[in-house]
Amino acid sequence: MKLPVYIATGLAAAGVLAAVPALAGASESPAVQTAGAKALPSVNMEATLKAAQLDPRRPDNKLTPGAKASVLLVEKALKDKKLLAAKYVDGYFGTTTITAFKKYQKSLGYKGIAANGLPGKASLTKLGTGRFKVTHVIVPGPRVKYGKYVVNTRTKKMLAEASRLLGGRKIVLDQGSYNPGGDPTSVGTHDGGGVVDISVKGMNAATRTKVARELRRVGFAAWVRSPKQGNWPWHIHATAISDPDLAGQAQPQVSDYYFGKNGLANHAKDDGPKMTFRTWEEYLRLR
């Protein structure tokens, strides 16, 4: 509450304002009121999540650019909870840190893909209580239908944008996400979120490559799959980079794409169109 000038002047002259703290401090800003509180450091979820996908399968000990400070805060919290040895608090979100984070998720009662070792919003926020705040949050969103298949909201938006870039060409799915016990040739990659198979019916080789290119542009690790590579028909396999719901079997496909490989068990050279590795969130900032 702010008093009119003529009233405030009169009260001040009478010494009243000094005696009435509720009035004297009524316009004090929250920043002033909490000036003595120590600000918490920030964990960038976007950078941390990228490190959790790439670091476990790096051929070297390089750190994921821009992730070190955030990963260190996460690792220190895991160490304090006696889930991670001090020697692994190094800013490198490798397999040991993944395992520790998975144990933490399970300690919260999470199961299945909610305990996949990737730092999701809920588990990361809970871990940071009193330690750090979480910024650049990524959420998969509710599960929705895309055609006759289930995907999450983030994946659906990515597919819609790829369709727009293709001049409105409809993207038809052969398989969706959250599909435990589905096609055995998928070896579990579709059990979580962010992974779809796209029909290439009626497409020639050039069109298939063009579709894969636009999928990569919006943040998918995407490859054209042929019958020569496995027991499946022609299709495009696409894995949404940095989807917090990725199944454990799908996570290596993201790092394969980053390191120029094909996302298959043989980890052969990437046979898709060359595109800059980027997440959906990075694409949106550049658009």
Considering the chain, what is the average pLDDT of its residues? 89
pLDDT at 186: 81
- Per-residue confidence band for 5, with pLDDT thresholds at 50, 70 and 90: very low
* Mean pLDDT calculated for residue range 125-152: 97
* Mean pLDDT calculated for residue range 143-157: 97
Whether pLDDT at 27 is above 50: no
CB atoms within 10 A of CB 12: 13
pLDDT at 28: 37
Per-domain residue ranges of the chain:
1-37, 42-135, 143-286
Angle between the N-to-C axes of helices 45-54 and 68-80, in degrees from 0 to 180, rounded to the nearest 10 = 80
Q: How far apart are CA 239 and CA 192, in angstroms?
A: 10
CB atoms within 10 A of CB 146: 19
Q: What is the dihedral of CA 83, 121, 181, 226, to 10 degrees?
A: -110
CB atoms within 10 A of CB 66: 13
C-alpha torsion sign, points 103, 108, 110, 115: negative
